[in-house]
Amino acid sequence: MVAASIPERWERRPDGYQFPCGWYMIRPMRPTANRGQGGFTLIELIMVIVILGVLSAVAIPKYVDLQAEARSSTADGVLGAAASACAINYAAVQTKSPAPAIIADCATLAGAMATSGVTIADGAAGECSFAIGAKTYSFTLTAETTEAPCSVAKVTAKWPQ
């Protein structure tokens, strides 16, 4: 069965213009607000800038605090490694297994420690120091004897936060 063709109708407006009409002329209409223009409005851009400003105002101080905490934790770790080196060296001396040198100064302690990237420097009167970043941390070293291991303690005045 062949579909019947629909005749095209023409209508005339009062001003004389002729135009086709019928069901085939119906099509969805576009919204008038979106006529080929894209992009963001000024208000939307300002809101994004304000939100980014607030986020950066909160995030930057938190980042600085995290850096200081990380440096302090690293320094505490180095101090813990020094205390462990004292205990391990004392145990080795007591068991007479290849008798290591007794830890009496910062240089001997640095040789007994297995820390990479940290250089322990000698100071005055048993005070040792090391640097992390731009900050220098100091601690006191009590020399090891045959009766007791060496010990380390923070010099609080020279232990930056």
Q: Is residue 14 part of a domain?
A: no
The residues, any chain, with a CB within 8 Å of residue 21's CB and separated by 6 or more, are 9, 10, 11
Question: Residue 61 has what pLDDT?
Answer: 85
Most confident of the ranges 3-7, 32-36, 136-140:
136-140
pLDDT class for 48, splitting at 50, 70, 90?
A: very high
Question: Residue 129 has what pLDDT?
Answer: 85
pLDDT class for 152, splitting at 50, 70, 90?
A: confident
Which of the pair, 34 or 85, is modelled with greater confidence? 85
**Tokens, residue 112:** 């007994």
* SS3 at position 35: coil
Q: Is residue 8 part of a domain?
A: no
Looking at the 3D structure of the chain, how many domains does it have? 1
Question: Residue 138 has what pLDDT?
Answer: 85
Q: Is residue 129 part of a domain?
A: yes
**Which of the residue ranges 29-38, 50-59, 149-158 would you say has the lowest mean pLDDT?**
29-38
Q: From CA 87, how far away is CA 92, in angstroms rounded?
A: 9
Most confident of the ranges 64-78, 86-100, 101-115:
64-78
**Tokens, residue 108:** 């001997």
Find the domain containing 97 and state its range. 43-158
Q: Is residue 70 part of a domain?
A: yes
Distances in Å between the Cα of 7 and the Cα atoms of 21, 41, 108 are 10, 48, 107
Q: Is residue 136 part of a domain?
A: yes
Which of the pair, 148 or 11, is modelled with greater confidence? 148
Question: Residue 54 has what pLDDT?
Answer: 94
pLDDT class for 86, splitting at 50, 70, 90?
A: confident
Q: Is residue 56 part of a domain?
A: yes
Q: From CA 151, how far away is CA 85, in angstroms rounded?
A: 10
Nearest by Cα to 101 from 24, 92, 129, 51:
92
pTM above 0.75, yes or no: no
